[in-house]
Every structure is written in C-alpha cells, then in structure tokens.
Structure 1
C-alpha cells in the first residue's frame, strides 16, 4: 500500500504582532456562495483498466535531497508546508518532531514539544501553517500554535472530539463524521466561531454506528482560496461555502463502490468490502489541472489514478519499477502543475535508470552521490505528460 499522505513547512512572524492578534487570528479562507464554473464534476474510475507504468507518464522530475545529520535522521516525509525560503516537515511516524529545512534541502533546526503539559502536544491529528505559525490539532483537546523555533504561542480549547480540524473564516471546520456533536447532533461537518462555539451544522447522517472509522488523511484541504472536505468513506468532495457544503467532485466507481444507498455503515464493512473487492474509501490530492487519487482493496491491490480535470480522462498508474519492486513513496501535494512526493533514497537510482538524463534534474546543492549515501528520503517533484 502506498504510504499515506500529509504536509508541513513555515517560519517567522514577529511574535509581538502575533501576541497582539492573539489566538483569535486564523488563516482566512474566502467565503464564496456559488458553485465553481461547470458545477459538480464527475469522473469515472475503473479499477480493472490496464495500468500504465509511471515512467511512461513522467515528463520530467526535479530532485531535492534532505540533508542528513545526527539531528536530522528522517524515517519518512509525509507532510511539507512551504513558508518563505523554508520547508516545514512533519514525519508521519508521529514521534512529535518537526523539522525545518531550507527550500534547497539544508537542515536548519528541529523541535519537539511532545508531552502532557498545556504548552505541549500529546498526539497531534493534523497540522497546518497559519500566518507563519504552526497550528497543531491535539485530538479532542485543543489547537496549539508554535513559532518556527518551537516556542509556544497560544491555544484554543476544543470541546468536540473531531476527527480533523482546519481553520475556516475566523473559527474552524470540524470533521465529525460518524461521531456525535454536543452528545446528540449527527452532522458530518460542523463549524465553530472564534469563541469555539457551534456555528453551522452541515451534511447530516442518519445512524451512529457505534465505532470510529479509520481516517487515513486529513479530510480538509484547500485549493486557491477555497476549503474542501472529503471524509474517507465518501466518494464526493464538498466545497465549504458560507452556509453550506456544496458537492464539487464525484468519483464514480460505478458498481465497484461499496456504499450503495441500501448499504448500512456498520463495523464489519471493512471485511465485507474487501471480500467483495469493492472500493470503500478514496484519498485525493486536487491540483489546478490534475487530480491524484488513491484507494486499495487490500494487500497487493492498490489503485492510483491520475485524472485530467479538463478532459476528465483518468489513467491507472503502475508504480512498479520491476515486476517485484514498487517505489516506496508518500504523496504530498500539487504545487502548480507539479506533484510532490517523498521517495526512499535507495529507490531513486532505480527510478532514474528508467528515465532519460534530460528528464531529471537536481536542485542547487543536491547530488546523486549525496543521496545514495544518505538514509533520508528525497523529495521528487513530478511533471506529468
């Protein structure tokens, strides 16, 4: 199974300004009322179609090493955020360490505030860059903010046990899929205001199944100035507007989608969907012109699709570089028309062997020799054909 995806980098706002603004300062997501031009977009996906080798789809790649020192041994990179000339990296291992690199891969510093104190994080669920600060959602407890040196700035207490949280307007959007809001309300998506009081309730569900679903990736993501929501057991992406959640994208798996209208959400659906070899979740990264989408039906049954948003054409991707070897990578996100992944350094040579020399380049300061002598993963920015 491809490693699951994430993102983070950042750094300095004047702390004086931050303190003046206080914890009420959130990342502003623009209010919008209308559905984007063209309305709801639907894309047909066929898990049975022939897969195309990823090397046949690559136009070019750019490679950035992540400097390895005694202080910067990275097991994996799943989340990268960019701020000014820096990258902020969170390891998906959730050991609590946040790494700061330059955009060309030099290690700058790191910090770890893991703990049980009010200025620490016991276990984060998701994180984001917010006005030059790192915002961290600590499951069911609070949103803490830190500067890029790891200094605690402030926090907002949260009364709901949301799966994921993301700044929205002057408050937050909360993913409450399959859990109660305020002990009795059944809505998958709610928003709270700047005082953390319930504001909007959206996307009602009928039955609480009595279990928490596994969520593999932050259900909130942004594109341009808009905020979008996709929980793991849905085939529909919603665009959050001022007063509603508007269907924006539908992933149409036809008969291969498990959750038909008559299917109940109950704890054994994982087993049932795998036995029937049906799709029950999707992970997506939406860019300006393309979408990268992933699902799996179980071991050795991964499905990755590249979707052209204009033509609606989808291509099933084969990430194997030999019959028995698959690239070990994490998807990160789209940046313009390039798709960023992190790749195990030992796999990079195998990838380059299948590309022409003019198809790949290195950022300033990166060399293949340094990458081959390092255990740190590398960042690979892919431009598809």
Structure 2
C-alpha cells in the first residue's frame, strides 16, 4: 500500500517556531473583559509576562542550556511514509507515532529503527473507523487507540495483534489506561448528557470508568455550555512523568496531578500570564460567556496568552504557549525555581539550524522532537548560516528519504 507524501506545510508548522501562526487570531485590546484571578491552592505558580522582552541570548544560543543533541533518521519499509505527526510518545526505549494522515500508529526504537505499524482501519470488530487519540500501556508497551466513530478503545500488542476493546460512549478529549479494564478520561467541553442524565448540564471533566462503562469516580465538576465549543483552545490531556500522572488543561492554564486511588485531581502547576491571562471561561455565567464568545469571534477582545503543551521531566517543565500570533516556549527548573523564556525562534548555534518543537520526553529525562526530511533540506538550502558538517551529511543522506528525523537533546541545569 502506498502512503501519501509528507506535507511540507504541516512539518513547517511543527518545526520552525518563527513561522508558526496562531490560528485563533485576536487583536491587542482586552478592554472589553475584566480578568479575575483564581486561587490555585497548593499549586506552584509559574509567572510569565509575554509582553516583556524574551531572553534574547538564550533564544539565539541553545548551547547555553543544551548539553547534548543527537539525530536519528527513522527507517521505514519502502511502501510507507509518515504524513503528519499528530502525537508522539516515548516509553521504555520505544517511540510511538500517531500519523494523522494515514490513521496509523508507527513504532520505532529510540534510534529510529522500524519495529511495526498498526494499520487496522475498517468496520470489523478488530478494526477502528478512525483515530482521535492513542496511548501506551506503561506496564506492557501495548497500544490503545480511541476511535470515536467506533465508540471503542481498542487494545493492540506492539506486534499488531488485536487484544480486545473497551466500549466507550463518553465523548472525551484525552484518556489514559489504568489497567486492562479501567481508564481515566478527561473531557474539556463536550456534551455527555447521555451519560450523566441525572445531573446534566452539570457533568465532570475528569472520570474513571471501567469496562462495563460504569463511572467509578469523578472530579472537576462543571456546567456544560455550548458556547465553549466556539472558543478555540490548544492541546491538552494526560501525560506521565516517572510514576506520576499529570493532566494539562489549556483553558485554565493548569497542570493537575492525578490521584488514581482517590479518583481526583489536584492543582500542581499553574501558569500565570500576568496581564495577558485569558478569562476563566469555566467560571463565567452563561450570559456573560455568550457575550464574551461573540465579542471574541468579532475580535473585540483578546491579547492574551494560551497554553499549548507541557512536557515534564523529573527536573524541569517545558511549556509552549500562543501569544501575539506566535508560539513561544519557556523552560522552568523545578529544582532552582528559575526559568528561561524563549521567543518564537530558538536557534541551535551548535549546528546553525532552528531547534525543533518538543513533542515528548524520554524515560531518561531527555527531550524529543523531530524534523521532516523535506524541512531539513529547506533549512539547509535557505538558512542564513551554513549548517554544521553533520547536518549537511544528514541532509544529503535523507534528501530523498521522505521520512522524519528524531531529535533528542538534554538540558543543563540553569
């Protein structure tokens, strides 16, 4: 089976932060709304003022905080091409990639060697109709695929063998396997009135469900409001650091710790964007929210920062956020409580090319991103500075490969 070719534009968006444009356009006026801060309890507050100057020296010299960086081209069988990397997970020495274009899960070693591809799209009992999200069972390395159209979470071995499925009618944004018969589910703003009939429009954003589709525990109770569907928001969901489970919620700019025993979440980190904070949409009254969303659509309010993604290791947090039609990033040391603010561009002065966006972290505390081979060729051809010899050699070897190159790097203390 022949797969579609790499989408240059998708890879440009992913890899060159200086060219990333925030789709949720807004102007610089926030006079139409008054922001009210909310107490975050015991959460560690990370304060960022996007209007202040970024750390220019750090932005131009990744070597100030990067101690090592390595490149691993992915090897693929001749008839396979990854079209669009939608999600990447590293676990136990393996890299799992969800290709949105072909709706497949590709599995590689940490050095880019091909292991397998799960490609079971169809209408059969051991197939999925679509993929919205996937996860990895940390105890076995097996793959779980969420298919909304199939209303199931399907379980596959790393070898591709079908292992079973959990029926799931709860609309959700992200999930995480707890065991073979239990899952944690996060729902940002979708209606689940068919599940919570007795309380709807009040429904939880966090639940633990079993294989019988019974809700065992729940938290983050909120009122369903259709207006929230009109407000663009960024990536969010579960991720794991060590033995701890986290939940990132972009609307509130909060990272929660997840207590699976108690079936609750607690605020672990809160991102304070100072005067650029978005309003607390979950806390708005219905009429106020309707007015706000209408003004937002008409660009009468805006000028705030929106949390996009958080990656975490034992020692640091890495966060990307949208501000002023660009994607910016910050590194935060959990040990020293210090931070480095990077703007919309981060240059690798060791190799004279832009640094990639961080997609995930490794078990050893490294950060993992990627370049598309087409994107790397474009950087080499049009970059202002001559890349290092190892980049020139890498580009030459991958020029016609139509693949992607994993980028693994480690940070120094700062």
Q: TM-score range by the shorter chain?
A: 0.7 to 0.9
Deviation track 1:189-241 (CA, whole Å, cap 9, x = no partner) reads: 12213432011221122452345365643511111222211222111111121
The corresponding residue for 2:274 is 254
1:158 aligned onto 2:185: no
| Pick aligned residue for 2:214 from 174, 180, 197 | 197
The corresponding residue for 1:27 is none
Q: Contact 2:373/2:395 (CA < 8 Å) preserved in 1?
A: no
The corresponding residue for 1:133 is 142
Name the structure with the higher helix share: 2
Change (3 A) 1:112 1:218: farther
1:284 aligned onto 2:310: yes
Change (3 A) 1:214 1:164: farther
| Pick aligned residue for 1:142 from 125, 138, 152 | 152
The corresponding residue for 1:175 is 186
Change (3 A) 1:239 1:273: farther
Using the TM superposition, name which of 39-48 and 328-337 deviates more.
Answer: 328-337
The corresponding residue for 2:9 is none
Change (3 A) 1:269 1:45: farther
Q: Contact 1:83/1:132 (CA < 8 Å) preserved in 2?
A: yes
Separation (CA, whole Å) in 1 of partners of 2:221 and 2:271: 20
Change (3 A) 1:218 1:55: same
The corresponding residue for 1:41 is 44
Aligned-residue offset at 1:304:
1.4
Change (3 A) 1:372 1:94: closer
Deviation track 1:306-336 (CA, whole Å, cap 9, x = no partner) reads: 12222222222242559xx994845321223
Change (3 A) 1:100 1:207: closer
Separation (CA, whole Å) in 1 of partners of 2:386 and 2:339: 23
Separation (CA, whole Å) in 2 of partners of 1:171 and 1:311: 37
Local SS of the residue matching 1:186: strand
The corresponding residue for 1:55 is 61
Deviation track 1:41-75 (CA, whole Å, cap 9, x = no partner) reads: 11111212324325334332111011254223223
Using the TM superposition, name which of 104-113 and 141-150 deviates more.
Answer: 104-113
Q: Contact 1:284/1:294 (CA < 8 Å) preserved in 2?
A: yes
Separation (CA, whole Å) in 2 of partners of 1:271 and 1:76: 29
* Aligned length in residues: 343
Separation (CA, whole Å) in 2 of partners of 1:171 and 1:346: 41
Give 5+ residue unaligned stretches, structure 1.
5-37
Change (3 A) 1:126 1:112: same
Using the TM superposition, name which of 186-195 and 328-337 deviates more.
Answer: 328-337
Separation (CA, whole Å) in 2 of partners of 1:296 and 1:87: 27
The corresponding residue for 1:33 is none
Local SS of the residue matching 1:3: helix
The corresponding residue for 1:305 is 330
| Pick aligned residue for 1:338 from 366, 390, 410 | 366
> Aligned Cα RMSD in Å?
3.5
Give 5+ residue unaligned stretches, structure 2.
1-11, 16-40
